[in-house]
Structure 1
Amino acid sequence: MLKIHYSLDFELTNSIRDMALPEELHIQVRNLILKTKKGSVLTKGDVIAEHPAPGGGAFHAAAGGKVTGVNYHNLVVNCTGGDETVSPVDVNSMGKGTELLRTLQSLGVDVAPLTGKAEVLVINGLNPEPGVSVAQQLLRDGREELRAGVALARKLLSPNRAVLAVPKGEQVAIHGAETVGIRAKYPYSLDALVVRAVTGKEFPEGTRVINVMDLYDLGRVALTGLPITETLMTIAGHNYRVPIGTPVRHILDLLGLVAGPGDTIVLGGPFRGEAIYSLDEGVKKTDYGLFITSSDAIPAVQDAACINCGECVLQCPARVQPHLISRCAEYERFEEAERYGLNSCFECGLCAFNCFARRPLLQYIRFAKAQLKAKGQQDAQV
């Protein structure tokens, strides 16, 4: 069994930097409900798409301009709209209830974790993956937004207890939440494991969890009344405020980064992120990092046969069988994959990272989940 320690510690040396606006935004709209069309003229903050999930947040234009292209994957906005933005909404004046939730959803907030009554609200303040330091940065530089986010979350959920989970030894506090230290090693930063560390239970009833990045967005919405149009990303050791839809090509050119032939560019983190298919691909709301992996550093993932080494099972913190799940997904036996623990997997990516055969285990798992979800939606419509 491999013994590798995936540290989440990061030495912050700078404040958050603003990424310059690109000439075009390439906003991913796959599987979203479009609310605009080619030729439309947008103001910064206009709604461009809604999420099909009941609690999913809407998507907004990060800049004003004209929609010059729309296809199944992307919506392209030519950024020529100036500094004009949509009018702010006073969410703090609204009472607790459906109106407030719908307003937050329309401003881009995922309200699924903020519905109903919670006994415990867990705030995940650990960096999500090695090499990504946005959570640590926000705990240092985003205190005002985080306090506003906690206040609004408490208003919606009325929890008996709010807990901020931070790396053990860190002296961090947010008004309205108690602080608990957790070992700063991956995968202990994942929501399911943070909740277990805080409550001592796995998937306890009456518990809601929200990460610091989402809490910061909630606080910014509460303070400004404006929609979410940016994401925070760790790139080459620094944290940037990046307009959603910014093409990767723009980021590389602006920062002087070079990707050679055969190199892999990953949006997100090194374990759970997704490799891009084009430098024109735009960043998403949940992309918290950008990484360039040399073709010489890590062997390429391939559709090789499983060698039954068992390393993925030994590494799995969810105690499922990734090798069997991936085989079922590979041959479209999705219901059988469920019997091996598909729905208990929280997609940490350790199985794929440690696979000696370099099988795309995480991709197979996500594929199986997506196919079962699509089947469930089709069955519901019949």
Structure 2
Amino acid sequence: MIIPLQQHAGAVCNPLVRVGDTVSIGQLIGDGESRIHSSVSGEVTALSEMPHPSGKDVLSVVIETRNGEKKDIKPEELHAGTIKSIIREFGIVEPNGLSTMSKQVDIDTIIINGTNTGDLSANAALMLDHPSEIVHGLKALMESVGAKKAIIVIELNSEALHVMRTETIPDSNIKIVATPAYYPAGTENTLVKKFARKKVPRGSTPEDRGVLVSGIAAIKALYDAVHDGIPMITKTVTVAGAVRSPGNVLVEIGTSVKHVIDECGGCSGTPVKIVINGAISGAAQYSDEVPVIKTTSGILVQTESDINREPPAPCINCAWCVDECPIGLMPHLLYGYADSAQFDKCAELYIGDCVECGMCAYVCPSKLPLVQIIRYGKHGVAEMEGGTVEAEA
């Protein structure tokens, strides 16, 4: 079992265990901007740089699993002022790696993104299997931040729509909204503008406008923390593509992608590419030994017939990527600046606002790897700004 010490947006956590230590399920093993807990019991056999879904090697805790007891963690009492600490203590992060709540501000409305993205259906699976837990987690969050209303956004054709409507009948302040399936449906600013009727200015967040946006998995994790004292150590993942038994599976954090695929019957055909988190916005992996982490929502296996191998060509400045960007960015310029390591220019063009939906790369006639280079640019900006802060200190 390989548990990376970076499963969030931010710096790698500091390890709290050493080689030879025995760990229990739920034990804290990494601390920093977020917290990392062990998903298994066993012995720590290594602390080393290991493959990571981001494409780089990350300091990880390697555990040889064995039967053992769970760490005794008391459930937390959720009330005003404690929500941020609970989210951090239990290592709860959103699909983008950010904390569910980053600021202590007045929240009037909570929007829960229950939409699915293309070949990913983990959100629907969670709502079908745990509707009561999700509603209770949402109500606890509403009470703790003082939100007067909440909206759960679900696609019209989702099986979870009727289930969640039934579950929320007694709650007049929780509204289930059905939306046509479109991509990308789950960008925070789009959800706020469409369903809360508020515009988020460039450089601001939904919280600045009194709206908190969260995902189904994070709300379920919040329920687990408050009700059962369980940290975020499992993830529901969609396994799709060239596998014998595709579907949604509950996976322990740190499980290798290869093991998950094998548990779904193995590959059907010869796999040539494994993509984490969807065909459009996901990232191809260089090894099937990369682990499932907190931000993993899907594993897509592709054979040769599934792949378009057109070589990239120079940008022709057609601006199709600009037309498609749901955030209103200029991906072609961000690509050029990031590719030439001009990270100051990337920051000026708000590269941090990119939600990595992949639409720019999807429509690009030159087949440029826009998303991958923009991700590189984001990391460059983060390192540049981190260095500036250290220099000023």
The bucket for the TM-score relative to the shorter chain is: 0.7 to 0.9
| Contact in 2 for aligned 1:301/1:359 (Cα 8 Å) | no
2-structure distance, mates of 1:339, 1:102? 32
Aligned partner of 2:217 in structure 1 is 213
Deviations along 1:86-105, one digit per CA (max 9) or x if unpaired, are 1131213x54324x542442
Distance apart, 1:217 and its partner CA: 1.1
Aligned partner of 1:48 in structure 2 is 29
Aligned partner of 1:138 in structure 2 is 126
2-structure distance, mates of 1:65, 1:241? 20
> What SS does the aligned partner of 1:362 have?
helix
1:109 aligns to 2:87 (yes or no): no
Aligned partner of 2:81 in structure 1 is 97
1:230 aligns to 2:234 (yes or no): yes
Aligned partner of 1:122 in structure 2 is 111
Aligned partner of 1:13 in structure 2 is none
1-structure distance, mates of 2:31, 2:284? 25
Name structure 2 gaps, 5 residues minimum: 7-11, 50-57, 94-98, 201-205, 241-245
Q: What amino acid is aligned across from residue 92 of structure 2 in structure 1?
A: V
Q: How does 1:145-224 map to 2 (within 5 A)?
A: 145-168=133-156, 170-171=161-162, 172-173=164-165, 174=168, 175=171, 176-203=173-200, 205-224=209-228
Aligned partner of 1:313 in structure 2 is 322
2-structure distance, mates of 1:32, 1:190? 27
For 1:284, which of 278, 287, 293 is the aligned residue?
Answer: 293
Deviations along 1:18-62, one digit per CA (max 9) or x if unpaired, are xxxxxxx1122242322222222111111121242xxx3x11111
Distance apart, 1:260 and its partner CA: 6.5
> What SS does the aligned partner of 2:19 have?
coil
Aligned partner of 2:15 in structure 1 is 34
Deviates more, 1:309-318 or 1:276-285: 309-318
> What SS does the aligned partner of 1:113 have?
coil
Deviations along 1:248-297, one digit per CA (max 9) or x if unpaired, are 12122222322876711012222222222212111111111110122332
2-structure distance, mates of 1:371, 1:267? 22
Deviates more, 1:252-261 or 1:286-295: 252-261
> What SS does the aligned partner of 2:304 have?
coil
The number of residues matched between the two structures is: 350
How large is the RMSD of aligned CA atoms in angstroms? Answer: 2.2
Q: What amino acid is aligned across from residue 218 of structure 2 in structure 1?
A: D
Large movers: runs of 4+ above 6 Å: 259-262
Change beyond 3 A, Cα 1:27–1:138: same
Give the TM-score normalised by structure 2. 0.82
Change beyond 3 A, Cα 1:259–1:192: farther
Deviations along 1:188-213, one digit per CA (max 9) or x if unpaired, are 23322222210233325111100111
Deviates more, 1:294-303 or 1:157-166: 294-303
2-structure distance, mates of 1:112, 1:34? 23
| Contact in 2 for aligned 1:26/1:247 (Cα 8 Å) | yes
2-structure distance, mates of 1:370, 1:246? 26
Deviations along 1:134-154, one digit per CA (max 9) or x if unpaired, are 111222221121122112211
Q: How does 1:75-86 map to 2 (within 5 A)?
A: 75-80=61-66, 82-86=67-71
2-structure distance, mates of 1:78, 1:105? 26
2-structure distance, mates of 1:248, 1:362? 22
Q: What amino acid is aligned across from residue 163 of structure 1 in structure 2?
A: I
| Contact in 2 for aligned 1:149/1:215 (Cα 8 Å) | yes
Change beyond 3 A, Cα 1:141–1:281: same
Q: What amino acid is aligned across from residue 37 of structure 1 in structure 2?
A: R
Name structure 1 gaps, 5 residues minimum: 1-24
2-structure distance, mates of 1:298, 1:102? 44
Change beyond 3 A, Cα 1:189–1:317: same
Deviations along 1:332-375, one digit per CA (max 9) or x if unpaired, are 11222234442332221111122222211011111111111122
| Contact in 2 for aligned 1:86/1:226 (Cα 8 Å) | no
Change beyond 3 A, Cα 1:378–1:97: same
Aligned partner of 1:3 in structure 2 is none
Deviations along 1:87-128, one digit per CA (max 9) or x if unpaired, are 131213x54324x5424422222454274320211111111x
1:60 aligns to 2:37 (yes or no): yes
How much identity, in percent, do the aligned residues show?
25
